[in-house]
């Protein structure tokens, strides 16, 4: 299941595509919501690794506006609940991710993104 935590770690790696290749833009997606037990300690520890603007943008693409534009200083329960939901409970099942720079399309099938490139696209 590709969730937004993974999406936040994926960049386009087509030949020559080295700038403006993150984050990938969702296209024609089918989404499922699935509950998962929350771990606030994990959330607090993973926050420094997140690209915040990319996460907020991706969440909004998928219809979730619960996260603030800027990463907050104070991490209250409400915020952690929303963060947990955005990172772990929104499953992109079908659709695609498109590179904003070179337009390469990475399909998502059965919840799994296919990040493979064709021969001519490999550096």
Partner 1 sequence: MIPTPDLSHLKQEDYLSIYEPAEDTFVLLDALEQDADEIKSLRPLICLEVGSGSGCVSGFIGSILGPYNSLFLTTDINPHASLCTLRTGRQNKIPLEPLTAHLVTPLLPRLHHSVDILIFNPPYVPTYDSEAIDAQSQGDIRGAWAGGKDGMQVTDLLLEQVDDLLSDKGRFYLVAVKQNDIAGIQARMLQTYNLLSEVVLQRRAGREHLFVIRIHR
**CB closer to partner 1, 59 vs 65:** 59
Q: Which helix (H) or strand (E) holds 3?
A: strand 2-3
Only segment of 25-33, 57-65, 73-81, 102-110 that touches partner 1 (CB under 8 A):
102-110
- Cβ of residue 87: shortest distance to partner 1, in angstroms? 9
Binds partner 1 (CB under 8 A): choice among 51, 93, 94, 121:
51
Q: Which parts of this chain interact with partner 1 (CB under 8 A)?
A: 1-3, 5-6, 8-13, 22, 36-39, 42, 45-46, 49, 51, 88, 106, 109-117, 119
């Amino acid at each position: 299941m590709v969730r937004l935590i993974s999406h936040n770690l994926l960049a386009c790696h087509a030949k020559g595509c080295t700038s403006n290749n993150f984050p990938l833009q969702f296209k024609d997606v089918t989404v499922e919501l699935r509950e998962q037990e929350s771990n606030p300690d994990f959330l607090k520890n993973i926050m420094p690794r997140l690209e915040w603007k990319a996460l907020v943008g991706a969440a909004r693409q998928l219809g979730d506006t619960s996260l603030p534009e800027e990463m907050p200083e104070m991490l209250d329960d409400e915020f952690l609940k929303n963060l947990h939901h955005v990172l772990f409970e929104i499953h992109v099942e079908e659709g695609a991710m498109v590179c904003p720079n070179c337009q390469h399309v990475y399909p998502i099938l059965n919840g799994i993104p296919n990040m493979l490139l064709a021969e001519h696209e490999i550096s």
